[in-house]
Structure 1
């Protein structure tokens, strides 16, 4: 089969590799699309400390059709359209039994710890193949599940966002950022978003942002956020940017506000003024991945169109290297997807 893999650090190549065999409890999926993720770049460049030794097929997100089921699989059958859950868990600890994937101590990910979705076929545990709604294309499916599950985990499970609250989404033009804007708006929150271009301002307003702050036009977006909230500050901040924005995110919050951090694209270290946390009693919470228990609440919103993935661009698998270039482009808005013929 054809696959996009890394044999040497920093180099993505398209080559023929053996099709994976199906084990007990697994299904073989003929992939039709793969959503790109920043993790793909980190693994490609050898910067992820826990990744599988090279070679590795990249790709965390994907969608396609079941073509074969292994022994013991009763929940799926050949021909079913599925979207993949990228979280690989032990399925036996207390966290797994309660659907808290992010708390599994054996948690691994497709495309990071094992071969991923830049391929024509992938074998995964049956629990990782979620029956997909007919209302969504393969491209939309590949761009949707992880971004919206991450947004749900950050905003609802960890952030406890309530209707009527004010949410600030920092770096809202990314895949998970745009998902957070849509989700929060659908849940009845007021959304303030930050971005770096006027073109993205219009797009963010179109998907649910009430106000958009262009961080290239203001020295400190936290001052603008406070002005937009009559000096009070936001109730919750969604920050997936990392070190470059964390302090300003803290300063954007009301007294007793919550900061949800996930991701460190601008660097893994941050210079934080601790007094700004203590004095204002800020609740700083981390978020990692998502939980399968969140699917019953999220999937209906995708199925009925209340949430619709934002697709920036699509590329063929043969052009996956170009797709990765687009992924890190400053003017990207939403998800980049590779289609697999």
Structure 2
């Protein structure tokens, strides 16, 4: 089968389309013929040698969608031809955390495309628990763009920050895959949404996703001051922060007394200098996030099916142009997810 693999670290040109063996489904596994694969920042970090847990060579790709091609021995619940989407978090399913449904706490947690070969490929074989029947109404490209962005935003806002109806949520960097999902999740939870983005075109796109107010952070670099003006001087209840060093202090300043900053991701740097007084004196809660679990995915899948949550696809490239797709992923003009189309 064809696969997009990295064997040496470097620029986009290091993503090579190569022939590799088609996997055979082991007992309890599902072989999926992939139709689409979603790109993520992790793909770039691995390619650049900044994700040391990844083995090399490795087939990139955290998320994907397609159809069931074959079943391993003892696998039930699927029929060849079923449309499916992948949960990329592979766990032991035996430890106390897994038995309690807290997948993210599994000591053996591994991620598709980060710890083993991923979805830039024509086929992938995964445990049946990682293969989900696709919600109706979404094409392959939007399916491939749906799970990681939605599961991250849902885990951050619903589970960890416990956003309540009527609260104000600031989404920093709303044009990313996770950011665009966070705007929609916050609205689905009944919140007022203030979002930041970088251009006039993106401002309109973010409003179309449901944001009540949008701040162009290039025109208004101190976006936290505008957040305070928009909230009558009080500040937001929750800040959804995935940008990292460049914005985290401003996100803290944007919060009300007793507000919550929920963070995951650090695209501009994972080490930041913070003003501790801005946290201590206003009793700010910092909430860290890693990943989601199966129960949370089950909570938001109906919202994908009924259109409440709409995966945002920026662009689609054929598998053969995976290196070009990575260039687009890093482009500042991107809005939403970049997707690979596989197998025509």
**Contact 1:89–1:104 (CA under 8 A) maintained in structure 2:** yes
How far apart, in 2, do the equivalents of 1:301 and 1:162 lie?
A: 17
Matched, 1:252 2:254: yes
How far apart are residue 72 of structure 1 and its match?
Answer: 1.7
Aligned length: 340
Matches of 2:159 and 2:95, distance apart in 1 = 20
Q: Report whether the alignment pairs 1:46 with 2:49.
A: yes
Match of 1:3 in 2: 3
Gaps spanning 5+ residues in structure 1: where? none
Deviation at 1:77, TM superposition (A): 2.1
Deviations 1:210-257 (A, max 9, x none): 001111112311100000000000000000001111100100000000
- Where 1:9 maps in the other structure, the secondary structure is coil
The DSSP-based 3-state class of the residue aligned with 1:130 is: strand
Contact 2:175–2:334 (CA under 8 A) maintained in structure 1: yes
Shift of 1:183: 1.3
User: Where does residue 61 of structure 1 map in the other structure?
Assistant: 63
CA contact (8 A) 1:98 1:293 kept: no
Cα distance, 1:296 vs. partner? Answer: 2.2
In the TM superposition, what are the counterparts of 1:261-340 in structure 2 within 5 Å?
261-340=263-342
Q: For residues 35 and 228 of structure 2, what CA distance do their matches in structure 1 show?
A: 45
Cα distance per residue 1:288-320 (max 9 Å; x no partner)? 111111122101000011111111000000011
CA distance in 1, matches of 2:33, 2:338: 20
Q: Is the 8 A contact 1:226 1:232 kept in 2?
A: yes
Shift of 1:98: 2.0
Residues 179-199 of structure 1, C-alpha deviation per residue, up to 9 Å, x if partnerless? 000111122110000111111
State the alpha-carbon separation in 2 of the partners of residues 207 and 125 from structure 1. 34
Q: In 1, are the aligned partners of 2:135 and 2:302 still within 8 Å (CA)? A: no
For 2:37, the equivalent position in structure 1 comes to: 34
Work out whether residues 5 and 18 of structure 2, in 8 Å CA contact, stay in contact via their aligned partners in 1: yes
Contact 1:147 1:179 in 2 (8 A): yes
What SS does the aligned partner of 1:213 have? Answer: strand
- Give the alignment of 1:67-146 within 5 angstroms: 67-146=69-148
| Offset of residue 61 of structure 1 | 0.5
Match among 171, 196, 202 for residue 200 of structure 1? 202
Mapped to 1, the partners of 2:256 and 2:105 lie a distance apart of: 29
Contact 2:63 2:148 in 1 (8 A): yes
TM superposition shift of 1:132: 0.5
Query: SS of the residue aligned with 2:145?
Result: helix
Q: 5+ residue gaps in structure 2?
A: none
Q: Residue 15 of structure 1 aligns with which residue?
A: 18
The whole-number CA distance in structure 2 between the counterparts of 1:296 and 1:322 is 34
Matched residue SS, 2:92: coil
Q: CA RMSD in A?
A: 0.8
Distance in structure 2 (CA, Å) of the matches to 1:174 and 1:160: 22
Q: Structure 2 matches for 1:181-260, cutoff 5 A? A: 181-260=183-262
| Kept in 2: contact 1:311–1:337 (CA 8 A) | yes
* Contact kept in structure 2, 1:149 and 1:295, CA below 8 Å: yes
* Cα displacement string for residues 101-144 of structure 1 (whole angstroms, at most 9, x for unaligned residues): 11111111000000000000001011000001231111110000
Structure 1 runs (4+) deviating above 6 angstroms are none
- Do 1:175 and 1:333's aligned partners in 2 also have CA atoms closer than 8 Å? yes
Which SS does the other structure have where 2:73 is aligned? coil
